Amino acid sequence: MKHDGGRGMSSPNEAPQLPDSEPPLPEKVVKVRPPRSLRVELMVSYLSLLAVVVIGFGISIYVLVRQGVYHQAESDLLASAQLLAQELKSGVAKSDLAITQAYRHRFGPAPRDQAYFTVWDPQGHQIVNNAPPLPHLEFGPSEPPPEHRRPFYSLAHGIHLDVYLKETDGTRVMVGRPMAREFDHLNRLLVIVGLFGVVSLAAGAVGAWWLARRIVSPLDQLTQAAEKITAQSLDQRLELVEASSELTRLSSVFNTMLDRLHNAFQRQIRFTADASHELRTPVAVILSQAEHTLSRPRTPEDYCSALETCVRASRRMKRLVDDLLLLARADSGRLDIRQEPLDLADVVRQSLAMLEPLATEKQIRLTAQLLTTRTVGDAARLGQVVTNLVTNALQYNHPDGNVFVTVHTRDSRAMLVVSDTGVGIPALDQPRLFERFFRADQARTHSEGQGTGLGLSIVSEIVAAHHGTIEVTSELGVGTTVTVQFPIPETPAITPE
Partner 1 sequence: MRVLVIEDESDLRRLLTEILEEEGYAVDAAADGEDGLSKAQMWSYDVIVLDIMLPKIDGWDVLETLRETHQTPVLILSARDALSDRVLGLDIGADDYLVKPFERLELLARLRALIRRAAGQTQSTVELGEITVDLRDRCVRQGGQTVNLTAREYALLEYLAVHRGKVVSRTELYDHLFDETDNSLSNLLDVHVSNLRKKLGPDLIETRRGQGYVISE
Residues of the shown chain interacting with partner 1 in the complex, contacts defined by CB under 8 A: 273, 276-278, 280-281, 283-289, 291-292, 295-296, 309, 312-313, 441-448
Q: How far is the CB of 325 from partner 1 (least distance, A)?
A: 21
User: 324 or 366: whose CB is closer to partner 1?
Assistant: 324
Cβ–Cβ under 8 Å, residues 177 and 107: yes
User: 225 or 285: whose CB is closer to partner 1?
Assistant: 285
**Residues whose CB is less than 8 angstroms from the CB of residue 150 and which lie 6 or more positions away in sequence, other chains included:** none
How do 365-370 and 340-343 pair as beta strands?
Answer: unpaired
Q: Closest Cα partner for 416 from 449, 459, 445?
A: 459
Q: How far apart are the first and last CA of the chain?
A: 74
User: 283 or 371: whose CB is closer to partner 1?
Assistant: 283
What is the rounded CA–CA span in Å between residue 103 and residue 237? 81
Q: How far is the CB of 359 from partner 1 (least distance, A)?
A: 21
User: 286 or 470: whose CB is closer to partner 1?
Assistant: 286
What is the rounded CA–CA span in Å between residue 322 and residue 180? 103
Q: How far is the CB of 291 from partner 1 (least distance, A)?
A: 4
Name the burial class of residue 16, with classes exposed (0-12), middle (13-18) and buried (19+) by CB atoms within 10 angstroms of its CB. exposed
Cβ–Cβ under 8 Å, residues 263 and 255: no
Q: How far is the CB of 491 from partner 1 (least distance, A)?
A: 50
User: 223 or 272: whose CB is closer to partner 1?
Assistant: 272
User: 202 or 284: whose CB is closer to partner 1?
Assistant: 284
User: 165 or 425: whose CB is closer to partner 1?
Assistant: 425
Q: How far is the CB of 295 from partner 1 (least distance, A)?
A: 7
Q: How far is the CB of 409 from partner 1 (least distance, A)?
A: 41
3-state SS record for 392-444: HHHHCCCCCCEEEEEEEEECCEEEEEEEECCCCCCCCCHHHCCCCCCCCCCCC
Q: How far is the CB of 310 from partner 1 (least distance, A)?
A: 9
How do 340-343 and 374-377 pair as beta strands?
Answer: antiparallel
Helices (H) and strands (E) in the chain — how many of each?
9, 12
Q: How far is the CB of 452 from partner 1 (least distance, A)?
A: 14
**Residues whose CB is less than 8 angstroms from the CB of residue 72 and which lie 6 or more positions away in sequence, other chains included:** none
What is the rounded CA–CA span in Å between residue 276 and residue 257? 28
**Residues whose CB is less than 8 angstroms from the CB of residue 153 and which lie 6 or more positions away in sequence, other chains included:** 163, 164
User: 251 or 397: whose CB is closer to partner 1?
Assistant: 397
- CA distances to 122, 166, 444 from 149, rounded to whole Å, are 15, 9, 119
User: 102 or 321: whose CB is closer to partner 1?
Assistant: 321
Q: How far is the CB of 454 from partner 1 (least distance, A)?
A: 16
Q: How far is the CB of 259 from partner 1 (least distance, A)?
A: 23
User: 201 or 285: whose CB is closer to partner 1?
Assistant: 285
How do 160-166 and 152-157 pair as beta strands?
Answer: antiparallel
Q: Closest Cα partner for 237 from 215, 220, 222, 249?
A: 222
